[in-house]
Amino acid sequence: MAVDNLYWKVVKYLEANSKTNSEFLLGNVKIQNDGSGDYIKIWNVSGVTKPTDSQLNALASTATTEQNNNKIRKTRKRAYGEVGDQLDLLYKDMLAGKGDSTGEWFKSIKAVKDANPKE
């Protein structure tokens, strides 16, 4: 998805300039596509100039990695289940004296991480 990729390039550019993706939430940055490609429609980031295409393209690799890892984090979050269920597993493991890598909680978390590795 191109908008996603431009978004992540801009995020990496912001981070490189000591800013965060909150600039999107604040309305200081807006990406748009009017049918002829994605572009930055609004750029009002205090103290940071609007990035050039070459600056953004230089961030393509790290942006793609960040985009992929974000998808993996979302997948893991769904697979981990509810926090209450995790705490229940931890409690049961502690009662059984298995508050280490032999416990069911650890095994379930490890299985999710192994099935969904980050780049």
Quick one: pLDDT at residue 37? 86
The pTM of this model reads 0.73
What is the pLDDT averaged over residues 87-111? 95
Domains of the chain: 1-73 (3.30.56), 81-119 (no CATH)
Average pLDDT value over all residues in the chain:
93
Distance CA 8, CA 109 (A): 27
* Cα 64 to Cα 95, 103, 108, 117, 118, distances in angstroms: 43, 35, 28, 15, 12
**Which tens digits make up the pLDDT trace of 14-40?**
999 999 999 999 999 999 999 888 999
Determine the average pLDDT of the residues in 105-111. Answer: 96
Torsion of CA 52, 45, 7, 25, to 10 degrees: -170
